[in-house]
Chain A
Amino acid sequence: MLHIVNKSPLTSNTLDSCLSTATGGDILLIEDAVYAATHGNAAEAKLRAATGQFRVHVLLPDLDARGLGDRLIEGVLPVDYAGFVDLVASNKTCQSWL
């Protein structure tokens, strides 16, 4: 299934909730959650570990908007809006960790 996170890892525990609940499959980081996928963020190690268990995607337009398009952690897959739609369409269910 697809798990979507949209909150910064440093202001909310939704990324932790997602990572501890999800058993595999796809995770998509959008809006302020994209900070988790950047070099130097305190959540970097946690997210790197997650790339071993999940396919972790990040919405690139949200990363670019925040000036961090050049700091994406290796192993995280950038997607555009069409890729977002493909992820939703290819998974049977979707959980948004609001």
Chain B
Amino acid sequence: MSEIKKFMFVNRKAPYGTIYALESLEVVLITAAFDQDVSLMFLDDGVYQLKKGQQTKGIETKNFSPAYRALEDYDVEKLYVEKESMDARGLTEEDLLVSVTVLSRAEMGALMDEQDVVLSY
């Protein structure tokens, strides 16, 4: 695989309630291993995936949120979070466990248009 493509992962689901967030994260890591240009977009309930302070002992489920902090070790550094989605959930950038770029919904749409591959979760 010599040609580098732009991959975007669109994350719209809250963690734990469904399997989408974890599945997305696993495919992100696979894609990064193939040296592709990877971007992650978090919008709607997907912004909850990045909330600090997740404590999953009580629900006996693996807390996969620390893995988002490890993404930069895989050269996955383009993380975009949608502002309106954070506002509707009472979240600010300080609530997130990684540093991100905050975009408007219109900017998210434009970024989506630039991609070679879009994966929806």
Contact = CB atoms under 8 A, between A and B. Distances in A.
Interface of A: 6-8, 10-11, 31-32, 35, 38-42, 44, 60-62, 64-71, 80
What is the interface of chain A mostly: helix, strand, loop, or mixed? loop
Given A66-B48, A67-B51, A40 B56 contact: no
Interface of B: 13-18, 44-45, 48, 51-59, 61, 63, 65, 88-91
Contacts of A7: 17
Contacts of B44: 10-11
A8 B54 contact: no
Given A67-B55, A69-B55, A32 B45 contact: yes
Given A64-B58, A67-B53, A8 B45 contact: yes
A87 B43 CA distance: 35
A69 B56 CA distance: 11
Contacts of B63: 65
Interface-central residue, A7, A40, A44, A80, by most chain B CB under 10 Å: A40
